[in-house]
Structure 1
Amino acid sequence: MSNSAAAAVLTTSDLSEAIRAVRTLVALADIEQGEVDFEAVIRSQDVLAHVRHVLPRLEWWASAGEEHGSSKSGDDPADCLPIRVFDWCRPVDRAEPFIAALGPDSAAVRWDLDAWPAVPEAGLEAISQKYAYLTLTVNSRDLYQDEPSQDHTVHVHVRNRNGDQIDRVHWLAGQVGGRFTGRVELAPL
């Protein structure tokens, strides 16, 4: 397992602005084989119903711990709220319906891209799939939903916080009208 540095490039209280930024960044990336991963904390039965409509085979466990309920045990998630959701390797087209289903609950949606392409005019080389990720945190300031908020943050992932890697962060931030504030989180991949 390796890690990446997830750099915050845009934080906004306007979810539609955050989604537009993600669409712009996804359009810049190579994403032919792309997938989406979901992590969330679901607190209400209404949100759960909407999320299960989008992801019917949802993988989850009770926030109090697996012994209090999980998808592996065949428990009813509605009886175990709040629950933590970890659903991986879904088609890219599931991302926006999942985000719309969240309501006030917090989540991180990560796009696993094929690559960040080279940008010769900015002096940037291509970045392989291993470090080509993009995460939108919804109703949370961090990747792990530990800091619930009413903002949404777009993070771009790079191998490390040095040199040309940070140049890419600044360049990507500029493409969406954001700016790199220096806020970086370690993200296990």
Structure 2
Amino acid sequence: MSNSAAAAVLTTAELPEAIRAVRILLGIADIARGEVDFEAAIRSPDVLARVRHVLPDLEWRASTGAEHGSSGAGDDPAACLPIQVSDWGRPLDLAEPFIATLGPDPAAVRWDLDAWPAVPEAGLEAIPQKYAYLTLTVNSRDLYQDEPSQDHTVHVHVRDRNGDQFPRVHWLAGQVGGRFTGRVEIAPL
């Protein structure tokens, strides 16, 4: 099993600013076969209805455990709120509609990229798909919604190899007007 280092490069109270940064980073990345993954803690029926409109076959489980309700058991998610949502391998164009559904509920949207390309003028080699991800945490500072907040954080993932990939993190942060503060989470792949 491998890990990536998810480095926070921009934290903002303005969701449109975070989305702008994600768009810039997606413009840099190789996304030809990219996918997007979703995780969220849904607490309200209104948010649930909006999310199910975007992701009708949503996978979920009750926050108190699957034995209290899950999509696998065919339960009604509205009767099991709050729920944990996880949906994987979706088309890239579903990311922004999903983000727009969330209201105050915390979530993480992870783009699985084909690569972070080489940037010769910055001395950066290409990073292959196995270690190339981008995550936007909405209403949360961390990847797993354990640290709810009223702001949003953009994380870039690189290979966790004794910090030797952090020059790329600094470079990517500079591209979106952010800065790498040293806050890193290890993300199992």
- TM-score interval, smaller chain: over 0.9
Q: What SS does structure 2 have at the residue aligned with 1:52?
A: helix
Structure 1 alignment gaps of length 5 or more: none
Structure-2 separation of matches of 1:111 and 1:138: 14
**Contact 1:124 1:164 (8 Å CA) reproduced:** no
Using the TM superposition, give the Cα deviation of residue 156 of structure 1 relative to its aligned residue in structure 2, in angstroms.
0.3
Structure-1 separation of matches of 2:186 and 2:40: 18
Structure-2 separation of matches of 1:149 and 1:122: 34
Structure-1 separation of matches of 2:160 and 2:72: 35
Q: What SS does structure 1 have at the residue aligned with 2:24?
A: helix
1:159 is matched with 159
Structure-2 separation of matches of 1:119 and 1:162: 20
Structure-2 separation of matches of 1:148 and 1:112: 23
Question: Are residue 65 (structure 1) and residue 65 (structure 2) matched?
Answer: yes
Structure-2 separation of matches of 1:56 and 1:2: 32
1:121 is matched with 121
**Counterparts in 2 of 1:78 and 1:188: CA distance versus 1, 3 Å:** same
Alignment of structure 1 residues 33-182 onto 2, 5 Å? 33-160=33-160, 162=162, 164-182=164-182
Using the TM superposition, give the Cα deviation of residue 188 of structure 1 relative to its aligned residue in structure 2, in angstroms.
1.2
TM-score normalised by the chain length of structure 1? 0.98
**Counterparts in 2 of 1:163 and 1:84: CA distance versus 1, 3 Å:** closer
**Contact 1:36 1:112 (8 Å CA) reproduced:** yes
Structure-2 separation of matches of 1:31 and 1:52: 26
Identity of aligned residues (%): 84
Using the TM superposition, give the Cα deviation of residue 161 of structure 1 relative to its aligned residue in structure 2, in angstroms.
5.7
User: What stretches of structure 1 move > 3 A for 4+ residues in a row?
Assistant: 161-164
Structure 2 alignment gaps of length 5 or more: none
Letter in 2 for 1:153: T
Q: What SS does structure 1 have at the residue aligned with 2:157?
A: strand
Structure-2 separation of matches of 1:3 and 1:52: 31
